[in-house]
Amino acid sequence: MPTASDDTTTLFLAGDVMTGRGIDQVLPSPSDPQLYEHYIRHAGIYVDLAEERSGAIDYPISLEYIWGDALAVLNQKSPRFRMINLETAITTSSQHWPGKGIHYRMHPGNIELLTTAGIDACILANNHSMDWGFAGLRETVRTLTDAGITVSGAGNNLREAASPAIFETDTGRLLLFSYSTPDAGTPVNWAAKKHRPGINLLKTLFKRDQHKVIETIVEHRKPGDRVILSLHWGDNWGYHIPDTH
Protein backbone atom coordinates (compact mmCIF):
# COMPACT_ATOMS: atom_id res chain seq x y z
CA MET A 1 0.00 0.00 0.00
CA PRO A 2 1.33 3.49 -0.82
CA THR A 3 1.99 5.82 2.07
CA ALA A 4 0.34 9.22 2.31
CA SER A 5 3.43 10.87 0.86
CA ASP A 6 3.51 8.42 -2.04
CA ASP A 7 -0.06 9.38 -2.88
CA THR A 8 0.59 13.15 -2.92
CA THR A 9 0.89 15.21 -6.09
CA THR A 10 2.31 18.70 -5.68
CA LEU A 11 0.78 21.33 -7.97
CA PHE A 12 1.54 24.93 -8.87
CA LEU A 13 -1.74 26.78 -9.50
CA ALA A 14 -1.77 30.43 -10.60
CA GLY A 15 -4.67 32.65 -11.54
CA ASP A 16 -5.02 35.53 -13.98
CA VAL A 17 -1.70 35.46 -15.81
CA MET A 18 -1.74 38.38 -18.24
CA THR A 19 1.08 38.85 -20.76
CA GLY A 20 -0.48 41.38 -23.13
CA ARG A 21 -0.37 45.14 -23.65
CA GLY A 22 2.79 46.64 -22.09
CA ILE A 23 4.34 43.28 -21.28
CA ASP A 24 3.89 42.04 -24.83
CA GLN A 25 5.48 45.24 -26.13
CA VAL A 26 8.77 44.69 -24.28
CA LEU A 27 9.07 41.00 -25.26
CA PRO A 28 11.32 39.89 -28.15
CA SER A 29 8.36 39.57 -30.56
CA PRO A 30 5.83 42.33 -29.81
CA SER A 31 2.35 42.39 -31.34
CA ASP A 32 0.79 45.24 -33.28
CA PRO A 33 0.37 47.85 -30.50
CA GLN A 34 -3.11 48.94 -31.65
CA LEU A 35 -5.62 48.83 -28.77
CA TYR A 36 -9.35 49.51 -28.66
CA GLU A 37 -9.72 50.76 -25.11
CA HIS A 38 -11.64 53.91 -24.29
CA TYR A 39 -8.61 55.49 -22.62
CA ILE A 40 -5.50 54.06 -24.35
CA ARG A 41 -5.15 53.19 -28.04
CA HIS A 42 -1.48 52.19 -28.19
CA ALA A 43 0.04 49.45 -26.01
CA GLY A 44 3.36 51.29 -25.91
CA ILE A 45 1.78 53.85 -23.59
CA TYR A 46 1.74 51.19 -20.87
CA VAL A 47 5.51 50.86 -21.29
CA ASP A 48 5.86 54.65 -21.04
CA LEU A 49 3.82 54.68 -17.83
CA ALA A 50 5.92 51.89 -16.31
CA GLU A 51 9.16 53.67 -17.16
CA GLU A 52 7.82 56.95 -15.79
CA ARG A 53 7.06 55.19 -12.51
CA SER A 54 10.04 52.82 -12.14
CA GLY A 55 12.76 53.92 -14.52
CA ALA A 56 14.00 52.87 -17.95
CA ILE A 57 13.31 49.31 -19.13
CA ASP A 58 16.07 47.69 -21.16
CA TYR A 59 13.99 45.84 -23.73
CA PRO A 60 13.48 43.47 -25.34
CA ILE A 61 13.50 41.74 -21.99
CA SER A 62 14.43 38.09 -21.47
CA LEU A 63 11.62 35.55 -21.40
CA GLU A 64 12.47 34.73 -17.76
CA TYR A 65 12.17 38.36 -16.65
CA ILE A 66 8.43 38.57 -15.98
CA TRP A 67 8.50 35.54 -13.66
CA GLY A 68 10.88 37.32 -11.30
CA ASP A 69 11.76 35.30 -8.19
CA ALA A 70 8.99 32.80 -8.90
CA LEU A 71 11.16 30.63 -11.17
CA ALA A 72 13.68 29.93 -8.42
CA VAL A 73 10.89 29.05 -5.99
CA LEU A 74 9.22 26.76 -8.55
CA ASN A 75 12.46 24.97 -9.27
CA GLN A 76 13.06 24.53 -5.56
CA LYS A 77 9.57 23.16 -4.87
CA SER A 78 9.51 21.05 -8.05
CA PRO A 79 5.72 20.75 -8.47
CA ARG A 80 4.63 17.79 -10.57
CA PHE A 81 2.38 20.02 -12.70
CA ARG A 82 2.30 23.77 -13.27
CA MET A 83 -1.12 25.17 -14.20
CA ILE A 84 -2.11 28.77 -14.88
CA ASN A 85 -5.27 30.63 -15.82
CA LEU A 86 -3.98 32.39 -18.95
CA GLU A 87 -5.99 35.56 -19.51
CA THR A 88 -4.27 36.52 -22.75
CA ALA A 89 -4.86 35.35 -26.30
CA ILE A 90 -1.72 34.17 -28.10
CA THR A 91 -2.39 35.37 -31.61
CA THR A 92 -1.65 37.73 -34.47
CA SER A 93 -5.37 38.21 -35.11
CA SER A 94 -6.43 41.83 -35.56
CA GLN A 95 -10.14 41.07 -35.17
CA HIS A 96 -10.82 42.40 -31.68
CA TRP A 97 -14.11 41.43 -30.09
CA PRO A 98 -16.42 44.43 -30.61
CA GLY A 99 -17.99 46.11 -27.61
CA LYS A 100 -15.44 44.69 -25.17
CA GLY A 101 -13.37 47.28 -23.32
CA ILE A 102 -10.08 45.40 -22.91
CA HIS A 103 -8.31 43.04 -25.32
CA TYR A 104 -5.23 41.11 -24.17
CA ARG A 105 -2.92 39.65 -26.80
CA MET A 106 0.60 38.20 -26.86
CA HIS A 107 2.48 37.42 -30.07
CA PRO A 108 2.93 33.66 -30.71
CA GLY A 109 6.63 34.31 -31.15
CA ASN A 110 6.83 34.72 -27.38
CA ILE A 111 5.41 31.28 -26.52
CA GLU A 112 8.73 30.34 -24.88
CA LEU A 113 7.75 32.74 -22.11
CA LEU A 114 5.45 29.94 -20.91
CA THR A 115 7.69 26.97 -21.69
CA THR A 116 10.58 28.69 -19.91
CA ALA A 117 8.51 28.51 -16.74
CA GLY A 118 7.66 24.87 -17.39
CA ILE A 119 3.93 25.53 -17.66
CA ASP A 120 2.07 22.25 -18.22
CA ALA A 121 -1.48 23.53 -18.64
CA CYS A 122 -3.26 26.76 -19.49
CA ILE A 123 -6.85 27.29 -18.41
CA LEU A 124 -8.67 29.29 -21.09
CA ALA A 125 -12.17 29.34 -19.61
CA ASN A 126 -12.07 33.04 -18.76
CA ASN A 127 -13.13 36.47 -20.04
CA HIS A 128 -10.04 37.21 -22.19
CA SER A 129 -9.28 34.06 -24.20
CA MET A 130 -11.48 35.26 -27.08
CA ASP A 131 -10.58 38.95 -26.98
CA TRP A 132 -9.37 38.57 -30.58
CA GLY A 133 -12.27 36.53 -31.90
CA PHE A 134 -12.70 32.96 -33.01
CA ALA A 135 -9.53 33.09 -35.11
CA GLY A 136 -7.61 34.34 -32.10
CA LEU A 137 -8.87 31.48 -29.94
CA ARG A 138 -8.03 28.88 -32.58
CA GLU A 139 -4.50 30.24 -32.86
CA THR A 140 -4.14 30.35 -29.09
CA VAL A 141 -5.13 26.70 -28.73
CA ARG A 142 -2.90 25.66 -31.63
CA THR A 143 0.10 27.62 -30.37
CA LEU A 144 -0.18 26.17 -26.87
CA THR A 145 -0.71 22.63 -28.13
CA ASP A 146 2.24 22.85 -30.53
CA ALA A 147 4.39 23.96 -27.58
CA GLY A 148 3.39 20.89 -25.59
CA ILE A 149 1.11 22.81 -23.22
CA THR A 150 -2.25 21.26 -22.41
CA VAL A 151 -5.38 23.40 -22.81
CA SER A 152 -8.40 23.28 -20.50
CA GLY A 153 -11.77 25.01 -20.79
CA ALA A 154 -11.69 25.99 -24.48
CA GLY A 155 -11.48 24.30 -27.82
CA ASN A 156 -12.53 24.11 -31.44
CA ASN A 157 -15.95 22.75 -30.45
CA LEU A 158 -18.04 22.05 -27.35
CA ARG A 159 -16.67 18.54 -26.87
CA GLU A 160 -13.10 19.83 -26.71
CA ALA A 161 -14.00 22.76 -24.46
CA ALA A 162 -15.96 20.66 -21.96
CA SER A 163 -13.58 17.70 -21.80
CA PRO A 164 -11.05 17.64 -18.98
CA ALA A 165 -7.34 18.03 -19.45
CA ILE A 166 -5.87 14.70 -18.36
CA PHE A 167 -2.53 14.17 -16.64
CA GLU A 168 -1.02 10.84 -15.74
CA THR A 169 0.62 10.36 -12.34
CA ASP A 170 2.18 7.35 -10.63
CA THR A 171 -0.99 6.97 -8.56
CA GLY A 172 -3.65 7.54 -11.22
CA ARG A 173 -5.04 10.24 -13.46
CA LEU A 174 -5.54 13.90 -12.62
CA LEU A 175 -8.50 15.55 -14.41
CA LEU A 176 -8.71 19.34 -14.83
CA PHE A 177 -12.18 20.74 -15.63
CA SER A 178 -12.55 24.47 -16.31
CA TYR A 179 -15.56 26.78 -16.57
CA SER A 180 -16.20 30.51 -16.77
CA THR A 181 -19.39 32.40 -15.95
CA PRO A 182 -21.02 35.57 -17.32
CA ASP A 183 -20.65 37.36 -13.98
CA ALA A 184 -16.88 37.30 -14.58
CA GLY A 185 -17.37 39.44 -17.68
CA THR A 186 -17.38 36.52 -20.10
CA PRO A 187 -19.72 37.19 -23.04
CA VAL A 188 -22.46 34.58 -23.33
CA ASN A 189 -21.83 34.26 -27.06
CA TRP A 190 -18.31 33.00 -26.35
CA ALA A 191 -19.78 29.64 -25.38
CA ALA A 192 -18.42 26.75 -27.43
CA LYS A 193 -20.99 24.95 -29.56
CA LYS A 194 -21.13 21.59 -31.25
CA HIS A 195 -19.49 22.88 -34.43
CA ARG A 196 -18.07 26.22 -33.24
CA PRO A 197 -15.01 27.19 -31.20
CA GLY A 198 -15.43 28.79 -27.82
CA ILE A 199 -14.97 28.39 -24.11
CA ASN A 200 -16.64 26.14 -21.59
CA LEU A 201 -19.28 28.53 -20.29
CA LEU A 202 -21.45 27.88 -17.24
CA LYS A 203 -24.31 30.17 -18.16
CA THR A 204 -25.96 30.29 -14.73
CA LEU A 205 -25.30 29.06 -11.21
CA PHE A 206 -28.75 27.56 -10.82
CA LYS A 207 -29.07 24.02 -9.47
CA ARG A 208 -29.63 22.55 -12.93
CA ASP A 209 -26.31 23.92 -14.15
CA GLN A 210 -24.53 22.77 -11.01
CA HIS A 211 -25.83 19.29 -11.70
CA LYS A 212 -24.54 19.50 -15.29
CA VAL A 213 -21.05 20.09 -13.91
CA ILE A 214 -21.39 17.10 -11.60
CA GLU A 215 -22.70 14.92 -14.40
CA THR A 216 -19.79 15.88 -16.65
CA ILE A 217 -17.26 15.01 -13.95
CA VAL A 218 -18.96 11.70 -13.23
CA GLU A 219 -19.00 10.89 -16.95
CA HIS A 220 -15.23 11.23 -17.27
CA ARG A 221 -14.02 10.16 -13.85
CA LYS A 222 -12.73 6.62 -13.38
CA PRO A 223 -11.86 4.86 -10.11
CA GLY A 224 -8.63 6.31 -8.73
CA ASP A 225 -8.91 9.60 -10.63
CA ARG A 226 -8.49 12.92 -8.83
CA VAL A 227 -10.31 16.05 -9.98
CA ILE A 228 -9.49 19.76 -10.12
CA LEU A 229 -12.35 22.15 -10.91
CA SER A 230 -11.40 25.67 -12.05
CA LEU A 231 -14.18 28.26 -11.92
CA HIS A 232 -13.56 31.74 -13.31
CA TRP A 233 -16.40 33.71 -11.75
CA GLY A 234 -17.28 36.91 -9.91
CA ASP A 235 -16.60 40.62 -10.29
CA ASN A 236 -13.20 42.30 -10.16
CA TRP A 237 -12.00 44.37 -7.22
CA GLY A 238 -14.39 43.01 -4.63
CA TYR A 239 -14.33 40.96 -1.46
CA HIS A 240 -18.00 39.99 -1.16
CA ILE A 241 -18.68 36.36 -2.02
CA PRO A 242 -22.22 35.77 -3.32
CA ASP A 243 -24.21 32.95 -1.75
CA THR A 244 -24.34 31.18 -5.13
CA HIS A 245 -20.52 31.00 -5.19
**What pLDDT, in 10s, does the model give residues 20-67?**
999 999 999 999 999 999 999 999 999 999 999 999 999 999 999 999
pLDDT tier at 235, thresholds 50, 70, 90: confident
Strands of the chain, DSSP E: 11-17, 81-86, 89-90, 105-106, 121-123, 150-152, 154-155, 165-169, 172-180, 198-199, 226-232
Count other C-beta atoms under 10 Å from residue 121's C-beta.
Answer: 26
The torsion region of residue 118 among left (phi > 0), alpha (psi -120 to 50) and beta comes to: left
**Amino acid of residue 195:** H
What would the mean pLDDT of 157-182 be, rounded to a whole number? 96
pLDDT tens figures, 83-104: 999 999 999 999 999 999 999 9
What would the mean pLDDT of 180-192 be, rounded to a whole number? 96
Determine the pLDDT at residue 5. Answer: 56
Q: pLDDT > 90: what percent of the chain?
A: 91
CA distance 184 to 221: 27
**pLDDT higher than 70, residue 2:** no
pLDDT tens figures, 102-134: 999 999 999 999 999 999 999 999 999 999 999
CA distance 18 to 37: 16
Determine the pLDDT at residue 117. Answer: 96
Q: pLDDT > 70: what percent of the chain?
A: 98
For the question of whether the overall pTM of this predicted structure is more than 0.75, the answer is yes
Count other C-beta atoms under 10 Å from residue 235's C-beta.
Answer: 10
- Answer for the pair 68, 117: CB distance below 8 angstroms, yes or no: no
How buried is 137 (Cβ within 10 angstroms: 0-12 exposed, 13-18 middle, 19+ buried)?
buried
**pLDDT higher than 50, residue 185:** yes
Coil vs helix vs strand at 186: coil
Average pLDDT score, the chain: 94
pLDDT tier at 244, thresholds 50, 70, 90: confident
The 10 Å CB-count burial string (b at 16+, else e) for 79-105 is: eebbbbbbbbbbbbbeebbeebebbbb
CA distance 184 to 182: 5
Coil vs helix vs strand at 204: coil
Determine the pLDDT at residue 237. Answer: 82
Provide φ and ψ at 138, rounded to 5°.
Answer: -55, -45
**pLDDT higher than 70, residue 1:** no
CA distance 228 to 33: 36
